[in-house]
Amino acid sequence: MFEGISEKLNSTLKKIRGYGKLSESNIQDALREVRLSLLEADVNFKVVKDFVDSVRGRALGHEVIESLSPGQQFIKIVYEELVRTLGEKSSELDLKATPPIGIMLAGLQGSGKTTTAAKLAKYLKQNKRNPYLVPADIYRPAAVEQLRVLAEQIEVGVYDTEPGKDPVEICKDAMSAAVYGGYDVVIMDTAGRLHIDEELMNELRMIKAEINPHEILLVVDAMTGQDAVNVSNSFNEALDIDGVILTKMDGDARGGAALSIKAVTGKPIKFFGIGEKLDALEVFHPERIASRILGMGDVLTFIEKAQTAFEEKQAEEMAKKLLKKEFSLEDFREAMVAMRKMGSLESTVEMIPGMKQVTKNPKALEVAEKEIKKTIAMINSMTREERKNHTILNGSRRRRIAKGSGTKVEDVNRMIKNYVQMRDMMKNMGKMGKLAKRMMKFM
């Protein structure tokens, strides 16, 4: 995500960071490279011009030229202008209305609208809401069945769309059904087309007029770059949308759509999709995205993902066990499973400041992914007694574990060694923490 723009921008900013003093000349040189980086990333031309002009205006002022670390000050300005371009602050769903709250999803065919409807329902369910999915796309073959299957997977309600029924009537009846069913948010998956046409827009206008949805969200494919921006503009002019959900962001190395949509349409990006899994939907935080682009990581999202993967009570128990040296192989396995729930190793690692470079070595990441899978398989092949007490793992037991997990004895030995080292290291960290607390009492 943003790999192309991130590499080029960071290369330019690295040069700036190395300058002891900044002059009008080297600022202009840097901005020329920034401008080129943004254009190559398929960012809208007017957005690029406004961005560069804003950075130039601030960079040539006293806050940079006369600062003690002008390079760092320049980077700070680039970061702040990136945040402004992306939308300044996150704009989550407005759910402050009398239920059932109608959310209408619109977009072209192939943008991932139906899957996004299910992802949004799962997100709402995790946030203590009771969502209701409405299959209103009667034109695309199997669209109704697809949403029904997805609803079953995430265990949320779905409206039983009758064949041949008009989409406007479907949405109208679904809102009534939601009242009787006790659902508080109704997500309507409307029809799309391969291109924008008057027939599509008229149908969407009719649904809007009849239902008066609380929010209209446009689903667009980030990988289409400037087309995504043009589509957003057209839908906004026709429907006055409330926000955008960008899909397939994990496949968009350039990032032109994300950097252009808010500035061009005036409407915020509310969510973005980063994979096929139904939990692969994230709230769009401009400051966090700007941080990722500049290689500063995204610690807050990392923490949120970790909190989702580990239940609070489970995390507390694990921490206590680590400090007391009671962290068993069973706990080690649970930690590995939870880590995999957070997503791919690549997407997780790049959120940690200074670790983005690691993602450029696909082989190393692939090896790490395999090691996690092997570790889980080896611990799964152990008895409950062995997982609780690794000291009983003699030669014959290790051979049995290797055979049962499809690994080698050397793999089992290495895994046990890594586990013991990690446990001892965490135990020592705990001691250091306690020692520091004691020292503070005397200061």
Per-residue pLDDT of the chain (443 residues; tens, 9 = 90+): 567 677 777 777 777 777 667 778 878 888 888 888 888 888 888 989 999 999 888 887 766 556 556 677 778 888 888 889 888 888 888 888 888 999 999 988 888 899 999 999 999 998 889 999 999 988 887 888 999 999 999 999 999 888 778 899 999 999 999 999 899 999 999 988 878 888 888 999 999 999 999 999 999 988 887 888 888 888 998 899 999 998 988 766 667 788 888 888 889 999 988 878 888 888 888 888 888 787 665 445 554 555 555 555 555 666 666 555 667 888 778 777 776 666 665 556 555 544 455 455 566 667 777 888 888 899 999 998 998 888 899 999 999 999 999 999 999 998 888 888 777 665 554 444 444 444 333 33
Question: Between the CA atoms of 135, 141, 145 and 147, what dihedral angle is there, to the nearest 10 degrees?
Answer: -50
> Nearest 5 degrees, angle CA 402-CA 404-CA 410?
5
Core vs surface per residue 359-376: b (16+ CB within 10 A) or e: beeeeebeeeeebeebbb
Edge-to-edge strands of the sheet including 131-136? Answer: 157-158, 131-136, 185-190, 101-106, 215-221, 243-247, 269-273, 281-283
Cis peptide leading into residue 100 (ω within 30°) = yes
Which helix (H) or strand (E) is 221 found in, with range? strand 215-221
Strand-pair partners of 103? 187, 215
Residue 199 CA to chain centroid, in angstroms?
A: 34
Angle between helices 256-265 and 45-59 (to 10 degrees): 90
Strand-pair partners of 271? 245, 283
The dihedral region occupied by 255, where left means phi > 0, alpha psi between -120 and 50, and beta the remainder, is left
3-state helix, strand, coil in the chain (%, to 5): 65, 10, 30
d(CA 173, CA 414): 61
Model confidence pLDDT, tens digit, residues 234-269: 899 889 999 999 898 876 666 778 888 888 888 999
Token pair 């007490």: residue: 389
Which helix (H) or strand (E) is 300 found in, with range? helix 299-309
What is residue 413's DSSP assignment?
A: H
Model confidence pLDDT, tens digit, residues 6-38: 777 777 777 777 766 777 887 888 888 888 888
- Distances in Å between the Cα of 303 and the Cα atoms of 144, 300, 306, 339 are 36, 5, 5, 12
Q: Give the 3-state secondary structure of residue 289.
A: helix
**What are the helix (H) ranges across 350-408?**
362-380, 384-388, 395-405
Global pTM reads 0.68
Superfamily of domain 101-296, CATH level 4:
P-loop containing nucleotide triphosphate hydrolases (3.40.50.300)
CATH number of 302-441: 1.10.260.30
- Distances in Å between the Cα of 415 and the Cα atoms of 9, 304, 402, 421, 422 are 40, 28, 11, 10, 11
d(CA 158, CA 173): 12
Give residue limits of the domains in the chain.
3-86, 101-296, 302-441
Q: What pLDDT does residue 308 have?
A: 56
The correct CATH number of 3-86 out of 1.10.8.640, 3.40.50.720, 3.50.50.60, 1.20.120.140 is: 1.20.120.140
The dihedral region occupied by 354, where left means phi > 0, alpha psi between -120 and 50, and beta the remainder, is left
- Backbone CA torsion sign across 260, 264, 268, 273: negative
Strand-pair partners of 135? 189
Contacts of 15 (CB under 8 A, 6+ apart): 30
> How many CA atoms lie within 13 Å of 138's alpha carbon, on the beta-carbon side?
14
